[in-house]
Amino acid sequence: MPRIVRGVLITALVVVVLIWLESGFGASPGFQTVLPDAAWRQLVLFAMVNVVIALSLNVINGMAGQFSIGHAGFVGIGAYTGALVAGHLHVRLGSGDPQFANSFIVMPLVLLASGTIAALFGLLVGLPSLRLRGDYLAIVTLGFAEIFRLVIATAQTGGTAEGSVAKFLASLGGQNGYAGPEGNGVPQYAGPFWIFGSVIVATLIAWRIKFSGWGRALRALREDEIAASAVGVDPTRYKVVSFVIAAAGAGVAGGLFASMHDGSPTVQPDSFTFVQSFDAITMVILGGSGSVSGAIVGGVFVTVTVKLIEQLQGLESIQAFRADHPSIDLNALRMVVYAAVLIGLMILRPEGLFGEREIFRRKRPKKGGGDPDNNAAQKSQSTQESTQDSENSTPADKESTESASSKQATSETLTTAEGTAS
Amino acid sequence: MKIEHPNRPAPKAEAGTPLLTVDNLAVSYGGIKALKGISLNVNRGEIVAMIGANGAGKTTTLKTIARLLPISSGKINYDGRDLGPVSAESLVEYGVSLVPEGRGIFPNLTVRENLELGAWNHKSKSVIVETEMEVVRLFPRIGERVKQVAGTLSGGEQQMLAIARALMARPAMLLLDEPSLGIAPRLVADIFEAVARIAEAGTTILLVEQNTRLALKYSRRAYVLRTGEIAMSGNSKDLADNEEIKAAYLGG
């Protein structure tokens, strides 16, 4: 089968599956059939949004090695932009329940607006701070994210606002959050179709970036900036553009987050604090800096772990324990458990689950060399290399299957636990 | 080995004419004057060495020529063009390649990826493949290890890779910063032999080297730097016989 035909068929299959998840073709939506519990559906969608966040942060933190610690700020910008666009379009479309058909009008515009606005802010932040060598980006991004959040959170709400900027900020609802233009919630257009679809597209883009000349330039910059510029890689240009790409990805994730099915009907400034930025960094580092597969696994892992610990607190035995020992603050203990999990992982695998590797290896284009001796040498080298590779890749593969199976196991125990609880 | 570059001045026809001219170059780190007016020139096809003690300003001079440090005053002229406003990353387009101090390879990338990055300014796949073959002929050890991760190479091999990577850009002029630093003596000889062959093929080389004996052996001319100034210059052979140089740098 020619590659193009195969590509088209795979794309068509994926689209059909996604539409089935969302609409069920007349029957009940596939996503609800697979996961009848709304809390789990929410968790899965939330994990997917986090995967987009991790994938985008991986471009600047993992591939380019520039430490950005304000990623939640860009997610927040995307979320507010997306909520504004979705809310106003929803009113134009006649309000009511968000229809899947209408989401094809709303979501493309939401994602475009969220990505673009976040990218613009990315350029604004990145251009001055990335011209300098060193850790200025970390400071600037952290400051930027907090400024963004505080400007929204502390905006004067109520009727006293004067001036268009103040009125606009007031309309975003301050600390209570933005609930659409009519105050009855941000319309939830982003179902599994859009969220899973975005994850797939983001993965493909991240993959393309990593294995292109662009990705190689970024890795070169990360390893040695002087050497990279000595071979002709313009550090500022590559860093700034990568940062803008990362910001755009975060914006898209924010747009999805704002109008996510089963999500919160309001967009609140507290969803975009330093803690969220830090979670995003954890996802990238845990999965393996620079690894696309790692960002995906890290995004899922962090989301599920945090939720899992929350869910475990609902267990009867834990509740009973809490009643018996009121002096122990279990809520604080949650963070201790989470931190312990992270520390354990970093001790066991300091380079992250994947290091810089991927689950799938890219096929290298074969090179025709004229020198037969040299070719022979390369061949013997390549056979050595391939055995080495399989040795190298097995632990990682094992790790991933292990973590996947353990995750499955935990999810099973969790459902049974819920069963007994209810 | 034949290395060609689109920007490269014809080597044989004008051999001996100046390719790089540095005129009264001054560079400061903050308030400290690192270079106090360095003037030197490198003719086409020559190996010129800069020698001197630690902190004499050798690497500073090279880094400034490579446009990694800003010029306080003075001029750098390469092939009739002023390098003052040129950025480090576009220097390679002019035909000048730097081999940074401490090797400066990309340790987590494979040897081949390192080489391909060296050819960043070339878009033609066939030119890259051809150059890689030429470079591998010069450094067979690198050819044997193209798929290895560069950080796993020995120090000498990493230095060879750094030079090989610089050659991938097909430069007319190579700036070499301390190629013998921290490398086993047997490999140092190999590296200098390779440098000599690169020069024979017509690439002009400006070399910074602490190992005075080696630098004077392989270069045609040399400049002796002392506290940011040129203390002495001349043919390398004459300098090697100079009593003062012998006493100060060659251990008597």
Would the pLDDT of A398 be above 50?
no
Would the pLDDT of B181 be above 90?
no
Q: What pLDDT score does A175 carry?
A: 84
Contact assessment for residue A296 and residue A54, using Cβ atoms and an 8 Å cutoff = yes
Q: What is the CATH number of domain A35-348?
A: 1.10.3470
Q: What is the phi/psi pair of residue A418, to 5°?
A: -60, -40
| A192-210 and A38-57 helices, crossing angle to 10° | 20
CATH number (domain holding residue B97): 3.40.50.300
Cβ contacts of residue A320 below 8 Å, gap of 6+? none
Mean pLDDT of A198-223: 92
Total CB pairs under 8 A between chain A and B: 98
Contact assessment for residue A37 and residue A30, using Cβ atoms and an 8 Å cutoff = no
Mean pLDDT of A135-139: 86
Domain limits for position B152: 32-249
More confident residue, B9 or B75: B75
CB-nearest to A232 from B100, B121, B137 is B121
Rounded to two decimals, the ipTM of the complex is: 0.84
Convert the pLDDT of each residue in A229-265 to its tens digit.
Answer: 999 999 999 999 999 999 999 999 999 999 998 888 8
- Average model confidence (pLDDT) for chain A? 81
- Chain B residues whose CB is inside 8 A of the A364 CB are none
Cβ contacts of residue A288 below 8 Å, gap of 6+? A62, A294, A298, A351, A352, A353, A354, A355, A356, A357
Q: What pLDDT score does A163 carry?
A: 78
More confident residue, A295 or A410: A295
Q: Considering the domain boundaries, does residue B14 fall inside one?
A: no
Q: What pLDDT score does A404 carry?
A: 41
The CA dihedral of A375, A379, A382, A384, to the nearest 10 degrees, is: -130
Measured between CB atoms, does B171 come within 8 Å of chain A?
no
Q: What pLDDT score does A86 carry?
A: 93
**Confidence band for A376, pLDDT divided at 50, 70 and 90:** very low
Report how far residue A374's alpha carbon sits from residue A252's, in angstroms, rounded to the nearest whole number: 48
Q: What pLDDT score does B43 carry?
A: 93
Longest alpha-carbon distance in chain B: 52
- Cβ within 8 Å, pair B147-A219: no
Convert the pLDDT of each residue in A267-316 to its tens digit.
Answer: 999 999 998 999 999 999 989 888 999 999 999 998 888 778 777 777 78
Burial class of residue A69 in the structure, from the number of CB atoms within 10 Å of its CB (0-12 exposed, 13-18 middle, 19+ buried): buried
- Cβ within 8 Å, pair B143-A224: no
Convert the pLDDT of each residue in A311-333 to its tens digit.
Answer: 777 778 878 887 888 777 766 77
Q: What pLDDT score does A159 carry?
A: 61
CB-nearest to B133 from A216, A235, A370 is A370
CB-nearest to B143 from A216, A368, A374 is A374
DSSP string over A375-392: HHHHHHHHHHHHHHHHHH
Q: Considering the domain boundaries, does residue B245 fall inside one?
A: yes
Which residue blocks in B85-184 are alpha helix, DSSP H? 91-94, 111-118, 125-138, 140-144, 155-167
Total domains, chain B: 1
Domain ranges of chain A: 1-34, 35-348
Would the pLDDT of B6 be above 70?
no
Would the pLDDT of A184 be above 90?
no
Which chain A residue has its CA at the smallest distance from B101's CA?
Answer: A227
Report how far residue A60's alpha carbon sits from residue A290's, in angstroms, rounded to the nearest whole number: 9
Rg value, chain B, Cα: 17
Would the pLDDT of B252 be above 60?
no
Would the pLDDT of B134 be above 50?
yes
Looking at CA atoms only, how far is residue B133 from chain A in angstroms?
A: 8
Convert the pLDDT of each residue in A344-370 to its tens digit.
Answer: 888 888 888 888 888 776 554 443 333
Q: Considering the domain boundaries, does residue B138 fall inside one?
A: yes
Q: Give the global pTM.
A: 0.80
Would the pLDDT of A208 be above 80?
yes
- Cβ within 8 Å, pair A377-B166: no
Looking at CA atoms only, how far is residue B106 from chain A in angstroms?
A: 6
- Cβ within 8 Å, pair B120-A230: no
Convert the pLDDT of each residue in B36-73 to its tens digit.
Answer: 999 999 999 999 999 988 888 999 999 999 999 999 99
Measured between CB atoms, does B118 come within 8 Å of chain A?
yes
Segment among A38-42, A53-57, B44-48, B217-221 with least mean pLDDT: A38-42
